[in-house]
Structure formats: structure tokens, C-alpha cells
Amino acid sequence: MGFFAVFFFTLVLAMAWKAYQRMLTPGSVPLRWLTRCLACAAAAYPLGVNGREVIDAAFTVGTAKVVQDVLVLGMTYTLLVFCLYSAADDGTAGRRVRRETVGFVGAAAVVVTAAFTAPDNSVLHSSFEDADMAAPHALAFYGTLGLYMLHTLTAAGVRTYRYARMSSGAAAAGLWTLTAGLAGMVLATGVRTGFLLVRAGGATVPHWMTTVSADLLVLSTPVFVLGVLWPGMCAGWAAWRLRVHHWRVYRRLEPLWRLLSSAYPDTVLPTLGRRGAFRYARRVIECRDGLIRIGPHLGTTSAVEAMAPGELALRLRQAIDDVHRGTVDPSRTEPLRITKYTGDEAEGVQHLVAVSQALQALPAGPR
């Protein structure tokens, strides 16, 4: 039960995250359908574990089973639509999606009708393992489920396999994982559909074979979901690491920023937001502006890269002290030479950090 709870919690978080991304990019059609796919999965999953009692208590016993099966059909349908929109333009994909929508509505209608019109509610009160597949309603119910899932999962799996072969990095890892999950679901669904036809003909299938196919279907579902989530998880991890890096640089630049802004408060940009990326960029810009302003008073014509961070830190503090005392020569306007880091943003920022840390290491002096 612990695994199922963790998996369900992951599904809900993934659906919420995709819904948030959809709010940020409302024009993304593939993202819209992927969000719907995860919503169907998140809604269907608890009904297969221990959430049936609530719905069955409010309606007829077996209603939760039908709702779950329709949601599973919706999950496979929305997954296929996501693949279609991801591979083609909206116009081309739209025609295929309309055909798939008709198929989904038809399959769902057959499933619901067969379940609620069966004599003595036999479909509602049975499961795949013990249903009488020779009965027309049971055959229509389980046969429609199996064939429709086999169609959508196979079509989505073929497209995912093609994308995986053309991809690299985190996207490829996610697509290959998704392909593996879909392959397991297709295999399990195909085997169970074959069992259905065998049982409809009057033969029997060993119970252990039915159990193995059901376990394969259950185990393939988390793999499928992991494949859907993997690229987003990798992107989120990379974004989190970048935010942490920006926060650390922001904090480490504080000694340099405080020194420069004390002499040139007009270099401090207005506060327009509290986002980490904005604060990081603003601090870097303010430190560079302050260096340019103080450059003519450093008493050297050397480029920044020619001075060790410790030497530059010492010259900066002396120059800032002169600015505070009003002893600087206003006629000096030679800018500080910065040549090496103009094309390498990361290296330039690291040099600023080194200077800032060198400032912090200097012994306190009179002001």
C-alpha cells in the first residue's frame, strides 16, 4: 500500500505541475493533452486500489469499476492525441484527432452500455478473472476495453519509439522509458485480449497466466508515468540547481556590491521583483557598473584579468575610501579595462565572486 500511495501522490503532483505549466503557456496544445492524460491516470488509479467504496455506495455496486475503465480509456486516448499533436502541425493532427475522438466516444459508449444493461448486473458484479466471457455483454465490455487500449497504446508506442530514436539526453531517456512502459502495457493488453477470446470460445485459461498478465499491466503503468515525467523532472532538477547557484553567487557578491554601492548608490537598480534570476542578474550588473565607475581611480591602467583578485580588492577599497573622503581626481575618466571576460559570462561572474571574496578576506581598515 505504501508504494501505491507514493505513486498516487506522484501522479497528483505531476498533474498539478503540468496544469501550472499549461497556465503559463495556454497555447501549447500538446501540453494541454498531456495534462489531461495525467488527470485521467490520477483519477483512475485510486479506484483500482481502495477508492471504489465511495462511488459504489453513492450509486450501484460496480459503478466505480466502469468509471475507472472509462478513465483508463481516456488516459490512452489523450496520450495518443498528445503524440499526434507533438508530431504534426495542428491542422494535420486535427483531422486524425477528430477520428480518434469518434473512436473513443464509441468505445466508451459500448463499455457503459454493456455494463449497465447486462442481465442481473453480471458485468458490474464480475471482474476480468471471473466474468463469463461467453455472455454477449461481458464479451462486449471487456473486448471493447482490450481492443481500444491495444489500438491507442500501440499507436502511441510506435510514435514514441520513433521520437526516442531521434532524441538525446533527458528527452531520450524519458522517451525510452515511456516506450518500455507502453510496450509492457501493449503486451499485457494483447495477452489479456487473447485470453478473452479463448474463454469466449469455451476454453479455460490457467489462473496464474491471468494473474501474471494483470501484474505486468500494473507494473507497466508506473514505468509509463515515469517516462512521461522524466524530461520534466530533469528540467526541474536542472532549474533548481541553477537557482541554487544563482542564490550562492548572489550572496557571495554581497561584499563587493556593498562596497561599490556605498560610493555609487545611483548604480543600484530599482527593485522590480523578488525572483532569484532577476536578483542575481541585477547584482551582477550593479557590481559591473560600480567597477566601471570606480575604474579611473584605481591607480592602474592594467586590465582586470592582469590583476589578482586580492590586488584588485585592495585597490578597490583604497579607491572607495578616496571617494568617501572626496579626494579623488574628477578629471580622471579612463574606464577600467575588461577584455578577457566580455565573451564568457560565467568566467566574468566567477572573477567578480573571487574579487568579492578577496574583499571579505581583507583585514578591516580605517574609513
Task: Identify the three-state secondary structure at position 264.
Answer: coil
| Residue 165 exposed, middle or buried by CB count within 10 Å (0-12, 13-18, 19+) | exposed
Show the cell assigned to 10: 506522484
Dihedral of CA 129/36/230/95: which sign?
Answer: positive
CB within 8 Å of 26: residues ≥ 6 apart: none
Quote the cell numbers at residue 329.
581626481
In the chain, count H helices and then E strands.
Answer: 12, 0
pTM of the full structure: 0.73
| Helices within 88-168 (DSSP H only) | 90-117, 136-166
The tens place of each residue's pLDDT in the chain, 367 residues long, gives: 566 677 778 888 888 888 888 888 888 888 899 899 989 988 888 776 666 666 666 677 778 888 889 999 999 999 999 988 887 666 678 888 999 999 999 999 999 999 888 888 788 888 888 888 888 898 999 999 999 999 999 999 999 998 888 888 878 888 899 899 999 999 999 999 999 999 888 888 888 888 898 888 888 888 888 888 887 788 788 888 988 999 999 999 999 999 989 888 888 888 765 665 688 888 999 988 888 888 777 776 666 666 788 888 888 888 888 888 877 666 665 655 554 555 567 788 888 899 899 988 887 655 4
Q: Which three cell numbers stand for residue 128?
A: 476480468
* CA angle centred on 146, ends 39 and 74, rounded to 5°: 20
Cα gap 107→237, rounded to integer Å = 39
Contacts of 170 (CB under 8 A, 6+ apart): 230, 231, 234, 235
Within the chain, all domains assigned CATH 1.20.1070 are found at 2-241
Pick the CATH number of 2-241 from 1.20.1690, 1.10.150, 1.20.1070, 2.30.130: 1.20.1070
Q: Using CA atoms, how far apart are residues 319 and 221, in angstroms rounded to an integer?
A: 65
